[in-house]
A and B are shown apart, each in its own frame.
Chain A
């Protein structure tokens, strides 16, 4: 399938270390997902779309890649060890690695700070939202 971004499903599967063919579409990952309501494509759909090579659509879906909390519930509760969150991370990384696509820039930070916020929130968000 032609891609606007030159990112193939093979690359996503490779850097994620995930084989979406293992998925049996049981939906347990999506049932476990605490961010289900916030995401356009839910974890089980995300897996299916990678398998179908619909990478562009995933890369363009901000809610699906940035509202994942990396809580690993989908990884823990999948009966087939598919690890959907790793695919989400791979697509997110493909997006932020594209120049100028950082979801968060240093200019955005001051407005987001509050005095009790732990460093951990900042470094984690930075790791997830920038390259």
Chain B
């Protein structure tokens, strides 16, 4: 299966390895990420207001590209996924937004009404490949490793649009952890916010949030937490010192388990 891949600016820059691990793991599992040419940054946060049309257009262009190529659109970054999937929902269901965005897009010869299916990498693993197959492909099982999933906000909320998993009691990452041979650790803070972009102007807020999150994970026995969001990753890592909990991107741990972490 070939997907239209929207890497996002973070995975293209600061998080290049995480992109490479994800691509190599995909190949090992039998699917291909075909990068959308000339994709543009999605803006990082979904514009909640109706009258913000221009900032939705980068998502619409990527979605329309995938539609033209008869492919589903895949992302590895929770934030890109959240923005693009919510914009897709607007294009399908919000007449005001859809009409205004399509007016802009006319000059580019694009008409789009939410036809593309938007999937996160984790959903492809669960729903297309299947965790049984992932388990079979594991070469270095992470035996006995105690790993907590950190969902943060953007993968799951708002659940009526994201529809990935139960927003208050998710299992998509825990089930991946199991498939990789490790023990998933469930802890209450796994879907509570890390402080997000406030990190830019006020480090104290994310610091406090992250201490609460990681302490909670540790109390439940986690040695490591994994995330699918580069900003969660940054905030967690920044303030993980002294907690004894390791922080990793999910694609790194996956590539490790599949034995494709080193390029060969």
Contact = CB atoms under 8 A, between A and B. Distances in A.
A23 interface: no
Contacts of A99: none
Given A67-B205, A125-B200, A127-B44, A119 B157 contact: no
B45 interface: yes
A114 to B, nearest CB: 8
A57 interface: no
Contact of B157 (A35, A71, A112): A71
B49 A34 contact: no
Contact of B77 (A72, A86, A120): A120
The number of chain B residues touching the other chain, given as a range, is 35 or more
A66 B195 CA distance: 12
A70 interface: yes
Nearest to A72: B157
Which of A17, A76, A118 has the largest count of B CB atoms less than 10 A from its CB? A118
A16 B55 contact: no
B193 A118 contact: no
A52 B202 CA distance: 31
- A-side interface mostly: helix
Interface string A97-125: 00000001000100010001111111111
B163 interface: no
A18 to B, nearest CB: 9
Contacts of A71: 152-153, 157, 192-193, 196
Interface of A: 14-17, 34-35, 38, 66-67, 69-73, 75-76, 85-86, 89-90, 93, 104, 108, 112, 116-125, 127-128
20 contacts: A14-B50, A15-B49, A17-B49, A71-B152, A73-B157, A76-B158, A76-B168, A89-B47, A116-B237, A117-B14, A117-B199, A117-B200, A118-B14, A118-B15, A120-B9, A120-B77, A120-B230, A123-B43, A125-B197, A128-B45
